[in-house]
């Protein structure tokens, strides 16, 4: 970010195959990612850090859509200052994962966001929460 430009989509999302499928409602986003075998741990299930990255991308985007709804003329960066992820079930390397993120509470300086990841059968595999702080973009 040394240049001050923002790359969309970022390389991390491209690597993971993350795609935002809905951001039509302020403060809400829906993302999908394949449960790719390349991201499994030695036990053969998806490594939790990849689920955390999915949640972070979805929640970060939700925080930005929320910030735009608070002040449409303001351009901000949204920085994750803490992240908690609970893993509810193992994820086998097949199918598509869906993450829904929602701003639970927010203002001009920060947003508290929650996310849920489900597999193709609708089973919850992870839940996350995070706080994002806003800073003005020039």
Instruction: Read off the pTM.
Output: 0.92
CB atoms within 10 A of CB 27: 22
**In tens digits, what is the pLDDT along the chain, a chain of 138 residues?**
455 677 778 888 888 999 999 999 999 999 999 999 999 999 999 999 999 999 999 999 999 999 999 999 999 999 999 999 999 999 999 999 999 999 999 999 999 999 999 999 999 999 999 999 999 987
Show me where the domains of the chain are located. Answer: 11-136
Q: Which CATH architecture has domain 11-136?
A: Roll (3.10)
Contact 130, 82 (CB under 8 A): yes
């Amino acid at each position: 970010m040394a240049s001050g430009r923002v790359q969309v989509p970022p390389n991390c999302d491209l690597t993971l195959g993350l795609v935002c499928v809905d951001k039509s409602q302020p403060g809400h986003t829906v993302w999908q990612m394949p449960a790719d075998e390349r991201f499994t741990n030695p036990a053969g299930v998806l490594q939790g850090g990849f689920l955390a990255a999915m949640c972070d991308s979805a929640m970060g985007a939700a925080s930005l859509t929320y910030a735009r709804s608070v002040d449409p003329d303001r351009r901000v960066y949204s920085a994750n200052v803490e992240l908690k992820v609970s893993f509810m079930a193992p994820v086998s390397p097949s199918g598509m994962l869906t993450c829904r993120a929602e701003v639970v509470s927010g203002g001009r300086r920060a947003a508290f966001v929650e996310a849920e990841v489900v597999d193709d059968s609708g089973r919850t595999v992870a839940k996350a929460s995070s706080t994002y702080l806003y800073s003005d973009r020039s």
